[in-house]
Amino acid sequence: MSATRSVEFDVKDIGLAGQGKQRIEWAEREMPVLRLIRERFAEEKPLTGTKLVACAHITTETANLARALQAGGADAVLIASNPLSTQDDVAASLVSDWGIPVYAIKGESTDTYNRHVRTALDSHPDIIIDDGSDVVATLLKERADQVKEIIGSTEETTTGIQRLEAMQKAGVLPFPSIAVNNAQTKHFFDNRYGTGQSTLDGIIRATNILLAGRNLVVVGYGWCGKGVALRARGMGSNVIVTEIDPIKAVEAVMDGFRVMPMAQAAPIGDIFVTVTGNRHVIDGEHFKVMKDGALVCNSGHFDLELNLVALRELAGDPQTMRPFVEEYKLQSNGNRVMVLGEGRLINLAAAEGHPASVMDMSFANQALSVEYLVKNKATLTPGVHLLPKEVDQEIASLKLRALGVAIDTLTAEQLEYITSWETGT
């Protein structure tokens, strides 16, 4: 751990700051909504005196969120929400150019990751921005004495919200938590178009493979799966979807995809992408029957969707073929299974995550959720909350304005019609 501008930090190389700053400023050009919020925050200072811990993928987009929070008067400590997603130049620049304490190194061990979570909690935050709920879970498990200091938390991802809802059900969630992921301006865009594009970007950067003509199996047809399937079809892949939810399966069929159980997809897939949020959706029995050279990766939050322990039992230690590509040779038949990005989020491990233009709306939601928690701390009750619908609509309106797109408004007659019941045929 080192210090610069009297800020503590743990980053790979502070000398990378120059490149990081340039890239952060490049991303900012595509984040007009967040910029407007930053400018308002700089004038109004709504977060003055607020201590924040932000656990997020340390990317150029997250850096722009951190700038907005800082402009609003918050003191933020940043830590990685995944051991493989940190952009080391961005981490260096946040420390060196903005004086923000960052604890994040690409490729850090699980022990270092957990140590960073605890170091961040040592700063005694009032608000936690979480991505996957590891900070909130650690707080509840290890820092009972700090719980009363917390105004609330915000949660970025589907998986994190599942965990918060489980905490709420178990009666252990002691503060309000804003489900940022559930805002429409978040999951309609970030999960669908962000994951769709960045996942294919990660697969292509890791392997340089041609997607056209390949059988690409999308495991899970939630918003992320829909995006991956849509974009893979656009690149010419023959997309197969696997699902456990009958409604989502019907959607996939009517969107024009083949739907089948994983046991049938495993021997015919060339590329597999898991986006379910659940564990072992590709298991030993599936690896056993895959084609020679099958590529397998994950774009769900945690690295447990692929059962890599089972794969290792079938194949022994892997051989690294390229950065983020490990080849497992099955002892039974000699077939090779390529695992990308160690089964961690391939879009952030091998590429740069979602493009700034979608993160603009996700992080506008984050910034406004933090402001909402501060403004409403006296009245918000413990539990999982949505941001008010008007905030969602305001973010969409600002995005449209930034994109130069105008839309219609209801006439008085139309408003009257849709808010009354008397008029029928």
| Residue 214 burial (CB count, 10 A) | 18
Nearer residue to ligand ADE within complex by CB, 337 or 356: 356
Q: Does position 34 bind ligand ADE by CB under 6 A?
A: no
Least distance to ligand ADE from the beta carbon of 413, Å? 43
Residue 8 host element (H or E): strand 7-9
Q: Does position 364 bind ligand ADE by CB under 6 A?
A: no
Least distance to ligand ADE from the beta carbon of 371, Å? 19
- Segment contacting ligand ADE (CB under 6 A): 142-150, 254-262, 347-355, 407-415? 347-355
Nearer residue to ligand ADE within complex by CB, 125 or 353: 353
Residue 59 backbone dihedrals phi, psi, to 5 degrees: -125, 175
- For ligand ADE, the binding residue among 83, 101, 196, 353 (CB under 6 A) is 353
**The one-letter amino acid at 288:** K
| Residue 221 burial (CB count, 10 A) | 27
Q: Does position 57 bind ligand ADE by CB under 6 A?
A: yes
For the chain, how many residues are written? 425
Q: Does position 359 bind ligand ADE by CB under 6 A?
A: yes
DSSP codes joined into one string, 248-275: HHHHHHHTT-EE--HHHHTTT-SEEEE-
Residue nearest to ligand ADE (CB): 353
How many residues in the shown chain lie near ligand ADE by CB under 6 A?
A: 10
d(CA 405, CA 4): 44
Q: Does position 231 bind ligand ADE by CB under 6 A?
A: no
Residue 131 tokens read as: 């991505």
Where do the DSSP E strands lie in 58-204? Answer: 75-80, 102-103, 127-130, 152-155, 176-179
Terminal Cα-to-Cα distance of the chain (whole angstroms): 72
Residues 167-226 that bind ligand ADE (CB under 6 A): 194
Q: Does position 56 bind ligand ADE by CB under 6 A?
A: yes
Q: Does position 371 bind ligand ADE by CB under 6 A?
A: no
Nearer residue to ligand ADE within complex by CB, 28 or 61: 61
Q: Does position 160 bind ligand ADE by CB under 6 A?
A: no
Nearer residue to ligand ADE within complex by CB, 64 or 177: 64
Decide: 305 and 276 in contact? Cβ < 8 Å.
Answer: yes
Largest CA distance in the chain: 73
> Where does this chain bind ligand ADE (CB under 6 A)?
56-57, 59, 61-62, 194, 348, 353-354, 359
